Amino acid sequence: MKVDEKYEKFASEHAAKSPLGKDCFFAFTVGGFICVLGQAFSDIYTLLGVNEETVKALVPVSLIFLSVLLTGIGVFDKIAKFAGAGTLVPITGFANAVAAPAIDNKAEGYVMGLGAKIFIIAGPVIMYGILASVIYGGIYYIAGLIPI
């Protein structure tokens, strides 16, 4: 049996709305805090005399380590529940998206379970990120060939 086309519109208007103000407040503060944490890592490593290039790599690695740890002990999703995009958008969200399926799909084996499913959420980010970078690289390379 079919329902009137109008129904979908009615249902989405009827649907309880996400509390945008509250969501944005937590996204802003948690997201901002994670970035501050990243900056703090960066400053500490620089103070310790690590060279600039290494610091650039170490900052995301540190944040990824923390996120994976919090994911493992089952705390990350509790924070994310109210932080929303605040934990999703920083590199922490990427790390969680890699760690969560790894932990969850171990039951299906190390190769097709953990190994394959580890990319189920983060895969698209890498895929389209690399695609975009290659397209940009192509343009950048061709632009560089044209003598100014």
Partner 1 sequence: MEKILVYLSVFIVGGILCTIAQILIDKTKLTPARVLVSYVVGGVILTAMGIYGPIVDFAKAGATVPLTGFGYSLARGVEKAIDENGAIGILTGGFTATSAGIAAALVFAFVAALIFRSKPK
Partner 2 sequence: MIQKISVLKAPNHGIPYIGYTQYTRFFSEMNPQVPQRRHESNTFTATEQYGDKMLIEIKNETRIFSFAAVGGKAEKNGPLGYAFDYTDESERFSQKTWESAEGSMQKIALSMALGKRNMTEKDIGVLLAGDLMNQCTASCYGLLSFDIPFVGLFGACSTAAEGLALSAIICDQSGSVCAAVTSSHFCSAERQFRFPLEYGGQRTPTSQRTATASGAFITGRTNEGVRIKSVMFGRSVDSKIKDINNMGAAMAPAAADTMLRFFSESGMKPGDFDLIATGDLGAEGYSITKLIMEQNGYDMGEVYDDCGLRLYDRKRQDMHSGASGCGCSASVACTSILPDMLSGKLGRVLFIGTGALMSPTSLQQGEPIASVAHLVYLEG
Residues numbered 106 to 145 that lie near partner 1 (CB under 8 A) are 106, 114, 118, 121-122, 124-126, 128-130, 132-134, 136-141, 144
For residues 35-54, which are near partner 2 according to CB under 8 A?
none
| 7 makes contact with partner 1 (CB under 8 A) | no
> What is d(CA 119, CA 82) in angstroms, rounded to the nearest whole number?
25
| 4 makes contact with partner 2 (CB under 8 A) | yes
| 25 makes contact with partner 2 (CB under 8 A) | no
> What is d(CA 13, CA 15) in angstroms, rounded to the nearest whole number?
6
> What is d(CA 133, CA 38) in angstroms, rounded to the nearest whole number?
24
Q: Which of 18, 108, 109, 112 binds partner 1 (CB under 8 A)?
A: 18
**In 10 A of CB 105, how many CB atoms?**
18
Which listed range, 3-11, 44-52, 57-65, lies at the site for partner 1 (CB under 8 A)?
A: 57-65
Select the binding partner of residue 109 from partner 1, partner 2, none (C-beta < 5 to 8 A, by kind).
Answer: none
Do 101 and 118 touch, CB atoms closer than 8 A?
yes
Q: Which is nearer to partner 2, 10 or 136 (CB)?
A: 10
Do 125 and 105 touch, CB atoms closer than 8 A?
no
How far CA 105 is from CA of 65, 71, 109, 114, 119, in Å, comes to: 20, 14, 7, 5, 11
> What is d(CA 63, CA 116) in angstroms, rounded to the nearest whole number?
24
For binding to partner 2 (CB under 8 A), which residues are involved? 1-8, 10-12, 14-19, 23, 71-72, 74, 76-77, 79-84, 87-88, 93, 96-97, 99-101, 103-105, 107, 117, 120-121
